[in-house]
Structure formats: C-alpha cells, structure tokens
C-alpha cells in the first residue's frame, strides 16, 4: 500500500538525521504540518519551491495521493533532484510529483505564463528570493489558497522584505509559527 511504503521511506531517511541536516530538510514535525495543511484544504495543485532530496516532497506527495492532487517541485541542483526522484519512486508516489530542474524564479514565471494555478505553496529555496517567489505565486493562487514559508526565524534577516510585504499585504491573512526554524502561514483572501 502506498502510504505504508511512503512511511517506510520517511522512517529510513529519518534514521539518518545527519543526511537530512546536510540537505537542509525540514524537521519531521514541519513535514507533518505541511501534509496536514494540504489535506485540510484538499489541495490539488501543490507547488514546492526547493526540493532538495525530497523529504518535504514525500510529506506533500502523501497528501496529494489522498486529495487526488499533484506536487510540482522545483530544484536547481541536479544531484539532489535525482535523489528526490529516487525517494519518491521508492515510496510509490511518482504519479503525484512533477519535478522541474532550474532556477525557481524562472520556472515560476514559466508556469505563470502557461496559465498554471496553485492552491498550496511551500517556499523553501533561496531565502533572499522569497519576495520574488511570492510576487509570482500570488498571481497564480485563488482565494483560500495556502502559503507556507520556511525559516522565518532561522533566516529572518535574509527575508525581512518578504516578511514586511506579507504582514502588510491586503492579499493575505498571515500567522507566524514560533517553531525553532519558524514558518509563515498565509491564506489568500
């Protein structure tokens, strides 16, 4: 069964915390949070900016398997993307994930120009670029969509422009989660 297989792959990765740390993966509780949030809104079109080796992708893809949705995940480092593909395949979740290789901002702009839309976005790539990602993403997200941005405490100084923008934007209701790394949770109005 897909879910049991995915759980086994997650547990295998979690048994090597150094590997997860070296690849900047979210902690387990953040993975669970992402999955539950995506399930809560029944997300069908999930965008993940920053795949790394696919740990958070596994959590999001498990949710997508239940909602009948898809995770579109972006990464510019080919070796890490290949590891992510291997993990997703081993988990039996390939059907639910579309991998894209390249600069996140270029890929998001291509999606926008192609008329794509997303109802859930997880932002976890270059911290200084969050402000640019959101400016493109917000045009592709209907009311009720959810944005989760990682590292709002651990990398705060690098994303002050993004945090200021989200706090004052008329487009979003926001809340910040005071976890060790910090996450911004936003809902599009």
Interaction between residue 103 and ligand SAM (CB under 6 A): yes
Interaction between residue 75 and ligand SAM (CB under 6 A): yes
Count residues near ligand SAM (CB under 6 A). 18
Interaction between residue 56 and ligand SAM (CB under 6 A): yes
List the structure tokens of 163: 């945090």
Name which of 13 and 186 has its Cβ closer to ligand SAM: 13
Name which of 82 and 169 has its Cβ closer to ligand SAM: 82
Name which of 56 and 67 has its Cβ closer to ligand SAM: 56
d(CA 71, CA 42): 13
Per-residue b or e along 36-70, where b marks 16 or more CB atoms closer than 10 Å to that residue's CB: ebbeeeebebbbbbbbbbbbbbbbbbbbbbbbebb
End-to-end CA distance of the chain: give it in Å, rounded: 37
Place of tokens 């651990």: 154
Interaction between residue 62 and ligand SAM (CB under 6 A): no
Interaction between residue 165 and ligand SAM (CB under 6 A): no
Closest CA to 112 of 143, 146, 135, 129: 135
Considering only residues 17 to 36 of the shown chain, the ones binding ligand SAM according to CB under 6 A are 24-26
Closest CA to 43 of 34, 51, 31, 53: 34
Considering only residues 117 to 156 of the shown chain, the ones binding ligand SAM according to CB under 6 A are 124-126, 129
Single residue of 8, 16, 22, 77 touching ligand SAM by CB under 6 A = 77
Helix (H, G, I), strand (E, B) or coil at 93: coil
Binding site for ligand SAM (CB under 6 A): 24-26, 50, 52, 55-56, 74-77, 80, 103-104, 124-126, 129
């Amino acid at each position: 069964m897909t879910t049991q297989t995915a759980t086994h792959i997650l547990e295998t990765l979690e048994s090597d915390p150094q590997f997860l740390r070296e690849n900047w993966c979210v902690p387990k509780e953040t993975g669970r949070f992402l999955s539950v949030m995506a399930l809560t809104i029944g997300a069908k079109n999930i965008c993940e900016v920053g795949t790394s080796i696919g740990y958070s992708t596994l959590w999001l893809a498990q949710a997508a398997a239940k909602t009948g949705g898809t995770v579109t995940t972006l990464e510019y480092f080919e070796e890490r993307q290949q590891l992510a593909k291997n993990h997703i395949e081993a988990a039996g979740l390939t059907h639910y994930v579309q991998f894209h290789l390249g600069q996140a901002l270029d890929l998001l702009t291509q999606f926008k120009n192609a008329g794509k839309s997303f109802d859930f976005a997880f932002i976890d790539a270059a911290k200084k670029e969050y402000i640019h990602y959101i400016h493109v993403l917000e045009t592709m997200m209907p009311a009720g969509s959810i944005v989760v941005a990682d590292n709002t405490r651990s990398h705060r100084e690098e994303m002050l422009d993004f945090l200021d923008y989200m706090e004052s934007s008329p487009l979003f209701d926001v809340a910040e989660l005071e976890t060790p790394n910090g996450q911004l949770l936003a809902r599009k109005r």
